[in-house]
């Protein structure tokens, strides 16, 4: 009996030491496990703990410094309840937001903000409408995802100094704004301009796991030849130069009709 108590006491000491080490684990030690999961990104100048840390430099695979990052992870992750808040700040991309893992393979995002220089995304964005330029600002009040798809969503986006970079030169579009909502896995998004730019835009986009549907009208406010040529590439212009775009894919007929305005 004495022998058993001795070994149980030793096991308790080992478990307590392991728990204390994990509770106060330095972030730089955790990098040995984390970096292989960052798909080539490297964190340098790492400080703090695994739970509250920062990296002074986030370095891409080509050696380019992307920015710096701070994070806070709730220690409830030790109980399987992941709660993470992330702040990334770089000259071409900034991100801030909180994420929580929920039961049933659901993930909740809250108070998300993103700022991106679209020119920096050229290697990753392949658009059939040439390459977008300008600054994209996105805010997500809340989003509930299951299997990566939004079941619920409330978000806004603002495309500042919107430009399409084409082989024939840059086409100025002005300022464009989006609002998006999702209920029951069906996303409804609206796009419009600020009322003062070279392009009048008004459109509706609907998405679900089964299909998508786009209905939009684009009309030039000015006689910019480059803008009119670009619009003509999207569809047959009407007498006033406007182009009505209607596209759909998948089982788009199963989507509910967008509310009329």
Q: 230 vs 83, 163, 171, 237, CA distance in Å?
A: 45, 11, 8, 11
Portion of the chain with pLDDT greater than 70, in percent: 84
pLDDT single digits (tens) 67-87: 999 999 998 887 778 899 999
pLDDT of amino acid 9: 52
Give the pLDDT band (50/70/90) at residue 261.
Answer: very low
Q: Is residue 3 scored above 80 in pLDDT? A: no
pTM: 0.85
pLDDT single digits (tens) 15-38: 555 555 566 678 888 888 877 888
pLDDT of amino acid 113: 98
pLDDT single digits (tens) 105-142: 899 999 999 999 998 877 666 666 688 999 999 999 99
Residue 24 contacts residue 41 (beta carbons within 8 Å)? no
What are the CB-based long-range contacts (under 8 Å, 24+) for 21-24? 22/78, 23/75, 24/49
Q: What is the mean pLDDT of residues 196-214?
A: 94
d(CA 202, CA 214): 11
Q: What is the mean pLDDT of residues 49-61?
A: 92
Question: Domain segments of the chain: what residues?
Answer: 1-250
């Amino acid at each position: 009996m004495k022998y058993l108590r001795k070994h149980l006491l030793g096991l308790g000491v080992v478990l307590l030491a392991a728990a204390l080490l994990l509770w106060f684990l330095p972030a730089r030690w955790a990098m040995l496990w984390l970096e292989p999961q960052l798909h080539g990104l490297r964190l340098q100048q790492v400080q703090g703990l695994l739970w509250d840390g920062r990296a002074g430099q986030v370095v891409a695979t080509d050696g380019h410094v992307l920015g710096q990052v701070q994070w806070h992870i709730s220690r409830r992750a030790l109980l399987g309840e992941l709660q993470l808040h992330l702040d990334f700040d770089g000259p071409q991309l900034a991100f801030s937001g909180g994420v929580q893992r929920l039961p049933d393979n659901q993930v909740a995002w809250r108070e998300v903000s993103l700022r991106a220089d679209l020119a920096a995304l050229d290697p990753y964005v392949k658009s059939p409408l040439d390459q977008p330029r300008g600054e994209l600002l996105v805010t997500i009040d809340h989003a509930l995802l299951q299997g990566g798809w939004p079941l619920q969503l409330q978000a806004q986006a603002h495309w500042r100094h919107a430009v399409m970079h084409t082989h024939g030169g840059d086409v100025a579009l002005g300022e464009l704004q989006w609002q998006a909502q999702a209920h029951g896995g069906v996303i409804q998004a609206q796009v419009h301009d600020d009322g003062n730019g070279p392009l009048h835009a008004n459109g509706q986009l609907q998405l679900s796991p089964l299909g998508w549907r786009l209905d939009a009208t684009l009309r030039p406010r000015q006689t910019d030849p480059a803008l009119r040529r670009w619009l003509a590439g999207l569809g047959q212009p009407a007498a006033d130069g406007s182009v009505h775009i209607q596209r759909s894919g998948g089982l788009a007929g199963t989507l509910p009709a967008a509310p009329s305005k």
